[in-house]
Amino acid sequence: MQDIKGGTVFEWRQRLGQTAGGSWAGAAEPLLGTGGGRWQAAAGQLPLAIMLVLLVAAAGVFSPATLQDPAFQAAVAGHALLFALAAIVPWHRLPSAVFSVVPVLDCVAIGFTRQAGGPEFSVLSLLLVFPVIRLSVNRGRPGVLLAILGVLLSAIVPAFAMGRDDAQDSAIRIIFLPLIMAGVALTAHFVARALINQHQTLTQKDRELADTLAESIHRQQLLDAVLSSINVGVWVIDQDGRGVLTNKALEVDPALAGLATGRRPLFLPDRTSEAPTERLPNIRAAKGEEFTDELYYAGTSDDQHAYSVSASPIRSAEGVCTGAVVTFAEVTELINALKAKDNFVATVSHELRTPLTSILGYLEIVLDEPDHKEIEPELLIIHRNATHLLTLVNDLIAVASDRVELSVQEADITHLLAQVVESLRPRAASSGLRLVMEAGQPLVTRVDAGRIRHVFKHLLSNAIKYSPDGGTITASLRSNGQGLVCSITDPGIGMTEDEAAHAFSKFFRSERSRDTAIPGAGLGLPISKTIVEGHGGSISLSTAPGKGTTVTLSLPSRPA
């Protein structure tokens, strides 16, 4: 999992601070003289100083007489003195309000320059814009008042000191010029306030964005640490099934390396058939399919590894599948252990079946002899238990092989079910249960009659065994147009959702059945599943604790 590139969180914070709000403020600060240092103060004077230099140059060209005027020279010297004052005085050591004196004096100096220049230089009143904007922007509402005061002083003080204005010009400068500059000051003030508010808002958003980025980086690092520490391969895909993220466990596994790029195939549980595109875990997950503990194989034929594959879709707020997380847990050793166990069970079972068959054969011979009537009840008990043991051994052989040999022939399923129901009625009655069969006309198909009868007997025996409180067990049979469906419903103890998920596992027994000492080896449902799936059918169950169980099996129709 890759980290965000390009710097630390601190550097990202600095970069975010240089967005629109930070950039205009940083550029305007020296020009407006908003800082506290002497160089920033001098920079605030710089625009006015440049204009005065241009003014002096223009006066030397177009009005040399004005440039020779001592009053004009004194006014220009006053501007130079103010610029030097701004550059020399350590303003950062003084109260910030003291610096307001410089723009006010700029206004007075502009008034003297204009007054000394005469009517030809009346346009110099426009230079008042520079100190007016500086005061109204930097000093808030008091700055607006100081700006207006500075404009008034620029009109009154020079006129009073030099006495060159006529009444009309004096009235224009004293009345109209302050009004105009007051409008400029207010406009500059409100625009500055709006920009400052915008800057503060953007700064706050930038700070929040930086915090969010920092939190995202922290979560990413945490997720990366978690994914790197687990030994389960994790593959995150997008909605098209393409890889987005893989963890270290998947990348370093030699059997799975290259899976995300399509260079390594996956094999089905038979270990030889390559999984078709539509059966690949990422394609199934991208379509929104959720599955758990699907068995796949990866690697070469000489070094194949088994994986339990699970997938969980990622959905948007609207419920649309936008990707999925696919996990690969290696179960090679477990599969090998289970295979070794099944081989052991099959071997032992075969070894037991031969002597058991011999014992039953000799018992039947003894029972046929007339001279053993006095011990016939005991011999029958031995025969019954030996028969039960042989049945259990045959079940172990069947469940260990995971497949059964079928002898398929035409058979009436309705008749097979009726035979089993009738044979178990006495046993059900002894437990206070009624066996009810719901079936109509004969339903004929091609099956292994003995195996299917075995399935019916297993399911009905389980229904009787796990219904200790009496009631009615219903066995129904019907055709759904595509095949035959048989349902067996009991009023028994039922199972939890977790127990139901393991009901078809070999040797599994529910906690309630163990607590109540109900006999059984946990082989009935696995054997039934093996036989039904061997016929191309399926078997499932629905159950709830204390509400009984319904087992449903489906068999395909096979024409004669």
Q: Per-residue pLDDT tens for 63-104?
A: 888 778 888 888 888 888 888 888 888 877 888 777 788 888
Looking at per-residue pLDDT, the higher value among 123 and 164 belongs to 123
- Split at pLDDT 50, 70, 90, the class of 173 is low
Lowest mean pLDDT among 117-121, 215-219, 433-437: 117-121
How high is the pLDDT of residue 46?
A: 84
- Mean pLDDT, the chain, rounded, equals 77
Task: Please give the pLDDT value at position 560.
Answer: 52
Task: State the pLDDT at residue 37.
Answer: 60
What pLDDT is recorded for position 137? Answer: 79
What DSSP line would sit under 52-107, residue for residue?
Answer: HHHHHHHHHHH-HHHHH-HHHHHHHHHHHHHHHHHHHS-GGGS-GGGGGHHHHHHH
Residue 5: pLDDT above 50?
no
User: What is the reported pLDDT for 17?
Assistant: 42
Note the pTM of the prediction, 2 decimals. Answer: 0.46
Q: What is the pLDDT of residue 170?
A: 56
Q: What is the mean pLDDT of residues 344-350?
A: 70
Q: Per-residue pLDDT averaged across 474-482, rounded?
A: 85
Mean pLDDT is lowest, of 4-18, 361-375, 527-541, for 4-18
What pLDDT sits at residue 175? 67
472, β-bridge pairs:
434
User: Regarding beta strands 471-479 and 433-438, do their DSSP bridges make them parallel or antiparallel, or are they unpaired?
Assistant: parallel
Average pLDDT of 280-308? 85
CA-based torsion, 473, 478, 480, 485: positive or negative? positive
Q: In this structure, what token pair is assigned to residue 423?
A: 């044979």
d(CA 437, CA 412): 15
Based on C-alpha coordinates, what's the Rg of the chain? 49
Q: Which of 40, 104, 117 is nearest to 76 (CA)?
A: 117
